[in-house]
A and B are shown apart, each in its own frame.
Chain A
Amino acid sequence: MKRILITLIALVLGGVAWSQNAKMPQNITIKTLDGESVQSSVIQNDGKPVIISFWATWCKPCNRELNTIKDLYEEWQEETGVKIVAISIDDARTVARVKPHVEGNDWPYEVYIDQNSDLKRAMGAISVPHTFILNGEGEIVWQHNGYQDGGEEEVIEVVRGLLKEKTEDK
């Protein structure tokens, strides 16, 4: 059995060598703030990059990050067309506070709820805050765990880099 396992892992890792960037999982059920179940494939931005930020109402660095970006978001959107999708992993204890939290903080983001961390788990994230950047094709090109002041600059730099690549390709 062990041998099979090792073979399989080798196969899997071998596969990586050929593969492009992983696509974001498409068929994980998440909820909108209105309680409607949707598939994770709703997360897209018409060929432009997407920043996915996993957060929770009780997570201080998450709130710092999302509050900081709030002030920059308009500029970012004008410059790069990027869209931020904030995915809450609040569970039954605090999930009812997600919508009030988002509106109370006046966050302009597209927000979804991943109550049992299904999407977070499928994307391989361990703890919040965890940020992913998807390119225009919906592929995960960058990820980051945690937030420290100034971290937002790194995020937008990656997005800018993506756009530069794209124009160069053309």
Chain B
Amino acid sequence: MKNIQKTAAGSRDRVANGYRLSAIGYRLFCVGLIFIFQFSFFSPTKAQGILGGHVTGNVQLDGQMSHADSVIGADDVPEKLLMNARADILYSNGDFNAGLRLEMYQNPLLGFDAQWKGSGVANYYVSYKTEKFGITAGHFYEQFGSGMILRTYEDRYLGLDNALFGVNVYVRPVEGVTIKALAGRQRYYWEMAEGLVRGVDGEVNLNSVLSFMKESKFRATLGAGFVSKYEEDELIPSEDPTMRLNLPLNVGAASFRADLGYGNWSLQAEYAHKGQDPWIDNKYVYHEGNALLLNLNYSQRGFSAGIQAKRIDNMGYKSMRSLSGEMLYINYLPAITKNHTYAFLTMYPYATQVNGEQGLQADVMYKFKKGTLLGGEYGTDLHLNGSLVAGLDTTITGGAGTEGYTVNGGLGETLYGDVSLEIAKKLSKAVKLTVTYAYQVFNPVVEGEGHKGLPLIHNHVAIADLSWKLNKKHSLRFEAEWLCSDSYYDESDDHHSDRRAGDWLMGLVEWNIGTHWFISLSDQVPYNDGIGNYYNLSVGYTHGATRFQLGYGKQREGLLCIGGICRQVPASNGLTFSLTTSF
């Protein structure tokens, strides 16, 4: 049920000699690189200089020093300095590409799993890609449709990387048709998971393929994908001690999708189905999985409206059945709620419930034109969004080694709901004000089954964000946030030991000096029932594609969420710095 980082005990041991294999892969990679250099050397048309080709990439360095603070719950960091670093080095020469990524976690920043500790070449590949055909060998990232059956991606801030190591091919036999095929194993920290992932995907753009649709106002792209994972048999006991699970070793998932448009209207629909897949987080039940995603949007100049519906039933799909937590997902199930960015709007973030959820989201944007009554001199932007997510209404019929449950037609418990209105208005040439109001309902169970039965939390959030351009060189930004919550803090009660409880105020001042420097100072304080005082000072310098940022202050423990995937971040108190550069 949880979508929060936690690691199954002993799961690490199930990752077999990934290193040996990757050593072979690595050798292949080296040979590939040498081949490319040879190629560029002998290719008279493409060579530029002796070797030809180009190198691009980026380097990122993040450091953290934290000391104990019992009020916010920060622990001491015995090694004093924690550091994550990585460098992507990409080589391209015509249709050839190669890349490698060095990563170092010595030791990983707070909130990153201890298994990240280490350093080395974490990712490498060679690829040859043309318009008609492409092949990548090594680590690759791929997505079928919206990712409901397959998406490999990395998010360095969440500490996620489920890259497949293997071969990925695409073919475009005619314009508008793409067929992809892949096979590989997923990265698991510094090793590789044993589970094998294979998939094919096809997509047809009807406007390109059908001559009578070439000029049509009706636009249509259809697609279908199929993914299968194979994992060896293992002993998983059933409730009866003399019985074990008869595990499906190959678990397939298929999806069908359509992307349609007509004039200002667009509709995206995807349906996915997954075969029997008993795994730890669905409590090893044999219920098949399915998911449906619908997006309907209307848009025109200055106005847009959209509605999104999603239903997931048992769609957690991993290449290691005994692993809980966020690693080794083969598919991607994003949250259906708005992706908020303000601090207090993300204090109680929603996380996708892969075992079952159903939800709706509606979104309206409107621009009042300049010179109208509400538009004023510079126009006014309005953004209204609402979402509601509930669990599935299920009847439990058994435990491990049974069908598990049946789904009834209704709604399960409320998991999350919010409605937000954002109004942005330029008050003068130099001043722009954005005000936001939101109401949230949050069920703590989305952060783990341990929170089952806790009362719903209701929040009002109000935010004012004002930017003021003083002159050509200096600008200021002020942000004030207010959170009013019916949750409360009580140290003696386990159910109310959440440090984010209560009502909060936040203030932020940001000063931009030219286009290179910024200084920002912020403070978050609970004034009723809460605990802690989270101040932060940061200074940043940007030059071209290089950024350096230095921060000092306190970080609240909580969930760091990106795209509905969340990671628990412990409290910290101290210095952080970050250096990134692209070249």
Contact = CB atoms under 8 A, between A and B. Distances in A.
Interface in B353-390: 363, 365-367, 381
Interface in A71-119: 91-97, 99-106, 115-118
A17 B469 CA distance: 42
Interface residues of A, number: 72
Interface residues of B toward A: which range? Answer: 35 or more
14 contacts: A1-B23, A5-B121, A8-B30, A23-B54, A37-B178, A91-B147, A104-B302, A124-B56, A126-B60, A143-B582, A145-B580, A148-B518, A150-B514, A151-B515
B475 A149 contact: yes
Cβ-closest 10 pairs across A and B: A18-B49, A100-B304, A93-B334, A22-B54, A35-B259, A96-B295, A15-B51, A104-B304, A104-B365, A27-B129
A121 B207 CA distance: 29
A64 to B, nearest CB: 8
Nearest to A9: B89
Contacts of A96: 266, 268, 295, 297, 306, 308
Nearest to B385: A97
Interface string A135-147: 0000010111110
Given A15-B55, A19-B52, A37-B178, A116 B545 contact: no
Interface of B: 23, 26-27, 30, 33-34, 37, 48-58, 60, 88-92, 95, 97, 121, 129-131, 134, 141-143, 146-148, 151, 153, 156, 170, 176, 178, 203, 205, 207-208, 219, 221, 259, 261, 264, 266, 268, 293, 295, 297-306, 308, 332, 334-336, 339-341, 363, 365-367, 381, 467, 469, 472-473, 475, 512, 514-516, 518, 542, 544-547, 563-564, 580, 582-583
B536 to A, nearest CB: 18
A34 interface: yes
B208 A36 contact: yes
A19 B472 contact: no
Interface of A: 1, 4-5, 8-9, 11-23, 25-29, 34-37, 39, 41, 57-60, 91-97, 99-106, 115-118, 121-127, 130, 140, 142-146, 148-151, 153-154
A100 B306 contact: yes
B295 A37 contact: no
B306 A25 contact: no
A149 to B, nearest CB: 4
A92 B332 contact: yes
A124 B515 contact: no
Given A125-B582, A126-B60, 4 more contacts: A60-B341, A106-B302, A126-B156, A144-B542
The winner among A1, A92, A122, A144 for most chain B CB atoms within 10 A is A92
B151 A116 contact: yes
A143 B542 contact: no
A91 B56 contact: no
A27 B95 contact: yes
Given A4-B30, A11-B37, A142-B544, A41 B131 contact: yes
Nearest to A11: B37
Contact of A100 (B90, B293, B363): B363
B144 to A, nearest CB: 10
A164 B220 CA distance: 44
B545 A145 contact: yes
A35 to B, nearest CB: 4
